[in-house]
Amino acid sequence: MTELHARWLKSVSRRRALAGFLGFLVGAPRAGGQLDRFRDHSRVGGLAEMRDVFDFEAAAYERLDRATYNYTARGGGSEFTTRRNREAFDWVGLVPRAIGEIGTPQTATEILGTRMRFPVMLAPSAAHAVLHPDKEAGTYAGCKNASETPMILSHVASMSFAELAKIDGGPLWFQLYPRKELEQNREPVESAQNAGAGAIVVTIDQQASVYDRAVHDRNLSLRPRRPPRLDGNDGRYRFSSGRMWYEWSLFENLRTMVRVPMLAKGILTREDALLAVEHGLDGIVVSNHGGRTLDYTPSSLEVLPEIVEAVAGRIPVLIDSGFRRGSDILKALALGADAVCLGRVPRWGLGSFGAPGVTRILEIVQQELLEAMTRCGVASLASADGSLARTDFP
Ligand SMILES: Cc1cc2nc3c(=O)[nH]c(=O)nc-3n(C[C@H](O)[C@H](O)[C@H](O)COP(=O)(O)O)c2cc1C
């Protein structure tokens, strides 16, 4: 072999050199190769341009890192229930009156001693610090400026109830993830009550604590999530052992320390609704946790009528999971709910524009509710009855 031949065999061809260099450029962050091109080229509107909740979700998607967006947006398993929660609204038609009542719709109500200008509350949701540096204080301020929308503070919030209650704001309730040792519930319950909690909402449906989507996406996320541990008691079932023991007697036990109204959150059957009444609860929240626990449950809207019928007006029936529009709220009211709680909605508001985003997103939903009531010809909550809704659940 000549020296020239040997050199040629070991050398990099022009084509390979070029291909390698282009590959480097495509992958290089500075060249934009790691970025989502749709994100880069889309222009996200300002606060004044937001028309509905879905605009806010897009704005939050733009502003939050992928892991944080996913944590709020995603549901459990195949996300069937999360999708079904939205789809359920397509199965309820609104039937307007040709000539309706006259006047500005009256939307004020009172639930378990808490007055509200609209039958809308904030569902408890964890860790607002990941969404905005103002944390729950931003959310609470946003609620105050949106007609003092009542807020339910999560047990796993970024701020304590006592800290938040010091801020001048609207009605505040507390959500509890109960502990098996009764005494371990005393501190959170007492400190919330002493700081003025209007009610305690005990969540009983959050058994699983793994969001598959976030795990699948861990390689795409900026903040990797740990895959579930498969050893030990918790890991084997991917359940938190802290939540695997619930019994109905829990409520009688908690009652020894709860002085304010107590609600159970996570009811999806008439049987459980009746048990809640039997065990002395003052209210229930019909909820599948926004599709974040067991996948393939019915949507909360589908089970609402049977639960309302079973409860028969003895205690207030609140509902959440999937609510995004004013007309969604009117449908639930027509099917007998006393109020609707919003989980992801305020998170999109806070994540995209901070406290003013929370205010605006709530105002939009409130305006949409007024609009839906007006179009249906109902001028009060009392008139928003079953005659308005035509259900066609599968
Ligand atoms: C990111 C996130 C965190 C949540 N954290 C809690 C929580 O700490 N306690 C609780 O009872 N429910 C929690 N939920 C459930 C909500 O209270 C509510 O049931 C659900 O979000 C309603 O569905 P929606 O998001 O479609 O409105 C959380 C929901 C989301 C989206």
User: Is the per-residue pLDDT at 42 higher than 70?
Assistant: no
Domain that holds residue 9: 3-34
Is there a single domain that holds both residue 261 and residue 361?
yes
| pLDDT cut 90: percent of the chain above it | 72
Stronger pLDDT, 246 or 189, i.e. the higher one: 189
287 lines ligand 1 (CB under 6 A): yes
Nearest-angstrom CA–CA distance, 123 and 193: 18
Residue whose CA lies nearest to ligand 1 atom number 3: 125
Same domain, 54 and 24: no
Distance (Å, whole) CA 368 – CA 374: 10
Q: Which residue's alpha carbon is at the smallest distance from atom 1 of ligand 1?
A: 72
Protein residue whose Cα sits closest to atom 4 of ligand 1: 125
Say if residue 203 is in the same domain as residue 342: yes
Pairing of strands 114-116, 109-111: antiparallel
Pair (9, 109) in one structural domain: no
Regarding pTM above 0.85, the answer is yes
Q: Is residue 42 part of a domain?
A: no
Shortest-distance atom of ligand 1 to CA 322: 26
CA dist., res. 192 & res. 189, Å (int): 5
| Ligand 1 lined by 346 (C-beta under 6 Å) | no
Q: What is the mean pLDDT of the chain?
A: 89
Q: Is there an atom of ligand 1 within 6 Å of 82 CB?
A: no
- Does the residue 259 lie in any domain? yes
Atom of ligand 1 nearest to the CA of 290: 23
Task: Count Cβ atoms within 10 A of the Cβ of residue 321 and give its class: 0-12 exposed, 13-18 middle, 19 or more buried.
Answer: buried
Question: Does the pLDDT value for residue 234 go beyond 60?
Answer: no
Q: Which two tokens stand for residue 103?
A: 């006047």
- Please tell me whether residues 85 and 12 are part of one structural domain: no
Residue 118, ligand 1, Cβ within 6 A: no
User: Nearest C-alpha to atom 13 of ligand 1 is from which residue?
Assistant: 125
- 170, 319: one domain: yes
Share above pLDDT 70 across residues of the chain, in percent, rounded to a whole number: 84
Q: Is the pLDDT of residue 77 over 70?
A: yes
Considering the domain boundaries, does residue 40 fall inside one? Answer: no
Q: Which whole number is the average pLDDT over 146-152?
A: 98
| 30 and 151 inside one domain | no
Asked if residue 215 has pLDDT above 70, the reply is: no
CATH number of the domain residue 353 falls in? 3.20.20.70
Per the structure block, which two tokens stand in for 347?
């998170």
Query: Does pLDDT of 90 surpass 80?
Result: yes
Ligand 1: which of 84, 132, 203, 292 to mutate, most ligand atoms within 8 Å of CB? 292
Q: 3-state SS string over 3-37?
A: HHHHHHHHCCCHHHHHHHHHHHHHHCHHHCCCCCH
Other CB atoms within 10 A of residue 379 CB: 18
- The pLDDT of residue 16 is 73
Confidence (pLDDT) at 28: 61
Residues 305, 351 within the same domain: yes
**Residue 284 main-chain phi, psi, to 5 deg:** -135, 155
By alpha-carbon position, which residue is closest to atom 28 of ligand 1? 125
Residue whose CA is at the smallest distance from ligand 1 atom 19: 289
Evaluate: CB of 173 within 6 angstroms of ligand 1.
no
* pLDDT band per the 50, 70, 90 thresholds, residue 15: confident
pLDDT at 3: 79
Catalytic residues: 289
Alpha helices in the chain (DSSP H): 3-10, 14-27, 37-41, 53-63, 66-73, 80-87, 135-145, 161-165, 186-194, 212-216, 232-237, 249-255, 270-278, 300-311, 326-334, 344-353, 355-376
- Output the CA 12–ligand 1 centroid distance in Å: 57
Domain count, the chain: 2
Residue 216: per-residue pLDDT? 55
Candidates 56, 125, 206, 304: which one to mutate for ligand 1, based on the most atoms within 8 Å of Cβ?
A: 125
Atom of ligand 1 nearest to the CA of 288: 19
**145 and 68 together in one domain:** yes
- Nearest residue (CA) to ligand 1, atom 27: 343
111 and 61 together in one domain: yes
Is residue 81 in contact with ligand 1, taking CB distance under 6 Å?
Answer: no
Instruction: Please indicate, yes or no, whether residues 11 and 93 belong to a single structural domain of this protein.
Output: no
Q: What pLDDT shows up at residue 320?
A: 98
The residues, ordered by sequence, that sit 6+ positions from 42 with a Cβ below 8 Å of its Cβ are: 62
C-alpha–C-alpha distance, residues 159 and 121, integer Å: 19
Give the per-residue pLDDT at 289: 96
Q: Give the per-residue pLDDT at 214.
A: 56
In the predicted structure, residue 226 carries a pLDDT above the cut 60: no
Q: How many CA atoms lie within 13 A of 270 on its CB side?
A: 10
Sign of the torsion formed by the C-alpha atoms of 146, 148, 154 and 156 = positive
Angstrom distance (rounded) from CA 371 to CA 87: 21
| 44 part of a folded domain | no
- Name which of 4-8, 84-88, 373-377 the model is least confident about: 4-8
Q: Is the CB of 175 under 6 A from ligand 1?
A: yes
The verdict on residue 39 lying in a domain is no
203 lines ligand 1 (CB under 6 A): yes
pLDDT in tens, 98-114: 898 888 899 999 999 99
Ligand 1 atom closest to Cα of residue 156: 8
Domain check: are 104 and 160 in the same one?
A: yes
The answer to whether the CB of 174 is under 6 A from ligand 1 is no
Tell me: the pLDDT tens digits for 237-272? 666 666 677 899 999 999 999 999 999 999 999 999
Out of 209, 289, 304, 319, mutate this one to test ligand 1's pocket (max ligand atoms within 8 Å of CB): namely: 289
pLDDT over 70 at 220, yes or no: no
Q: Is the Cβ atom of 124 under 6 angstroms away from ligand 1?
A: yes
Domain assignment of residue 60, yes or no: yes
